[in-house]
Structure 1
Amino acid sequence: MKTILCFGDSITWGYNPKDATRLPPEHRWPNILSEALGPDVEVIAEGLNGRTLAVEDPLRPDRGGLAKLPFLLESHAPLDTVIIMLGTNDCAPCYKLTIGEIALACARLIMTVKQSLAGPGGTAPATLLISPPHMGELEPTIGLFYNGGQTLCTELAEAYRMVATSLGTAYLDAAPVASPDEPDGVHLGPDGQRKLALAVKDVIAPLL
């Protein structure tokens, strides 16, 4: 049995862009990935609305991924692969981050996995870094948080590609694969979730 941890934000959690509820389990990409990989692979979804790579927000506490990942690695060990898809929330103007700071936080998350003992036999799990989908036209309420961060979000792909290359990590750019649904312009509907899951399957299957 192989085990995969999907560490992400509201897209991994399954936020429904139509009505802000949670998508049914069968429409969330980690569950679709599990079905596509078959019964010999366990896929663990660790998605949290508002999760960032590292920055902490006093209005939404405990969302910094860097502080939480070590505990999750330990609690779910042994893990064969850890998938990281974060960064959309870090692009929000309220955090005032540069693309370099986001890339550095991303690299620190990957190094946390690589330096862990969370893999089989006390080794380090493999990692897959996913650059999130680009933002679309934002619904006004969503725009209160994300407006102004669209350009930064489009810069994640190249920055993440460089991080993945330098750290020897598998990489997937989700932007060409899936686009956010209307009306909110950030989250994936059922079709986008499925497209993402199948693209991840093609990248991750060789790692297993």
Structure 2
Amino acid sequence: MQQILVYADSLSWGIIPDTRGRLPFEQRWPGVCEMALRQAGQDIRILENCLNGRRTVWPDPFKDGRDGSEGLAQVMEMHAPLKMVVLMLGNNDFQCTHDNNAWLSAQGTAKLIGIIRQAPIEPGMPVPEILVIAPPAIIRPKGAIAHKFNGAEKRWPGLTEALREVAAEHSCHFMDAGTVTDASKVDGIHLDMDQHNVLGLAVAQVIQPLV
């Protein structure tokens, strides 16, 4: 069995837009992806490490542990050996507590790539492949998260191309989730159940020839 780690935020955790509820594994995109790969005959296990509010490299002033660079090396040790790590982060870098642009957020992902490749895994274990997924574009935030993401839709543009450049520079695989789904119209950030399904199937198609 080959293991794939999804290191991500609430879009992958499966939060139901404008609620504190969570979709079950088989309905959130990592679960959809695993089931599709298994149905295609690949012995794959998807490991989720998805945390609501996780940034790439910035802390949350109100909640501990949201700097994605902290503890990533230990997560790599914990789950090794890994065939692949999927990174889908960035949206929380544009919360109103940060004055970031797309380039800065993408540099955060670049730091995470370096951590993955330098993690102290056991001798003889493989350094995993990395798939960088650009999240769907933030649209005007609504509902309970509107204040937290105030103005994010104006700072987000350019992230997809910045992440594409980072992935190419660091010889990582890349996928633009925005080519298969938009963000939820309910809150402008997250994914609805049908969008999780579409994304999970699309990610499986990208991963299938790589593992």
TM-score (norm 1): 0.94
- What are the within-5 Å matches in structure 2 for residues 1-208 of structure 1? 1-17=1-17, 19-38=19-38, 40-118=43-121, 121-208=124-211
Structure 2: distance between partners of 1:164 and 1:203: 15
Please tell me whether the aligned partners of residues 53 and 66 of structure 1 are also in contact (alpha carbons under 8 angstroms): yes
How large is the Cα RMSD of the aligned pairs?
Answer: 1.6
Q: 1:120 to 1:2 in 2, by over 3 A?
A: farther
Greater alpha carbon shift after TM alignment, 112-121 vs 186-195:
112-121
Would you say the 8 A contact 1:131–1:173 is kept in 2? yes
Which stretch shows the higher mean deviation, 5-14 or 18-27? 18-27
1:80 and 1:119 in contact (8 A); partners too: no
3-state DSSP class of the match of 2:124? Answer: helix
Instruction: Name stretches of at least 5 consecutive residues in structure 2 with no aligned partner.
Output: none
Distance in 1 (CA, whole Å) between partners of 2:210 and 2:152 is 33
Q: Percent identity?
A: 36
Q: CA deviation at 1:18?
A: 5.0
Offset at residue 137 of structure 1 (A): 3.3
Check conservation: 2:84, 2:129, Cα contact below 8 A: yes
TM-superposed CA distance for 1:9, in Å, is: 0.2
Q: 138-147 or 105-114: which moved more?
A: 138-147
More deviation in 182-191 or 111-120? 111-120
Please report how far the alpha carbon of residue 25 of structure 1 lies from its aligned counterpart in structure 2 after TM superposition. 2.0
2:156 match: secondary structure: helix
Task: Give CA deviations for 1:11-39 in whole Å, capped at 9, x if unaligned.
Answer: 11100015331112221111111101116
Structure 1 unaligned spans of 5+: none
Q: Distance in 2 between the 1:117 and 1:205 partners?
A: 27
Give the conservation status (yes or no) of the 8 Å contact 1:66–1:108.
yes
Q: CA deviation at 1:3?
A: 0.5
Which is further off, 168-177 or 135-144? 135-144
Deviation at 1:117, TM superposition (A): 4.9
- CA distance in 2 between counterparts of 1:178 and 1:80 reads 26
How far the C-alpha of 1:68 sits from its partner, in A, is 2.1
Report SS of the residue matched to 1:82: strand
Distance 2:70 2:64 in 1: 11
Corresponding pairs, count: 208
The TM-score normalised by the length of structure 2 is 0.93
Shift of 1:78: 0.6
Deviation per CA, 1:91-133, whole angstroms, max 9, x where unpaired? 1231112333212111010111122354893231000000111
1:176 to partner: Cα distance: 1.9
CA contact (8 A) 1:118 1:125 kept: no
